[in-house]
């Protein structure tokens, strides 16, 4: 998704720059900068979204593992 967002940003900015009268080299530089900035932005938002989505599942799994580990602990103390 981040790559497609970066390519779209490059295309819009490069073609827009050429259409408004800038030179091809300047348009390519602007498009590359836009692709880099907006691609990283989309990638970081995606990474943060994925990490927030996984956090509650990990907490539940750790709580279940602690509950399973403590079940047999009291049986050893009765002897």
pLDDT in tens, the chain (79 residues): 888 889 999 999 999 999 999 999 999 999 999 999 999 999 999 888 876 655 555 656 666 767 666 665 555 566 5
Phi-psi region of 23 (alpha: psi -120 to 50; beta: other; left: phi over 0): beta
Measured distance CA(44)–CA(25) in Å, rounded:
29
Q: Are 18 and 24 in contact (CB under 8 A)?
A: yes
Q: Are 17 and 31 in contact (CB under 8 A)?
A: yes
Q: Are 4 and 22 in contact (CB under 8 A)?
A: no
Q: What angle do CA 37, 43, 47 make, to 5 degrees?
A: 145
């Amino acid at each position: 998704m981040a790559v497609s967002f970066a390519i779209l940003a490059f295309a819009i900015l490069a073609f827009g720059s050429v259409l408004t009268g800038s030179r091809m080299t300047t348009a390519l530089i602007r498009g590359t900068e836009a692709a880099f900035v907006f691609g990283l932005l989309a990638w970081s938002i995606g990474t943060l979204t994925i990490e927030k989505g996984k956090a509650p599942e990990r907490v539940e799994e750790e709580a279940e593992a602690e509950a399973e580990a403590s079940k047999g602990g009291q049986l050893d103390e009765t002897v």
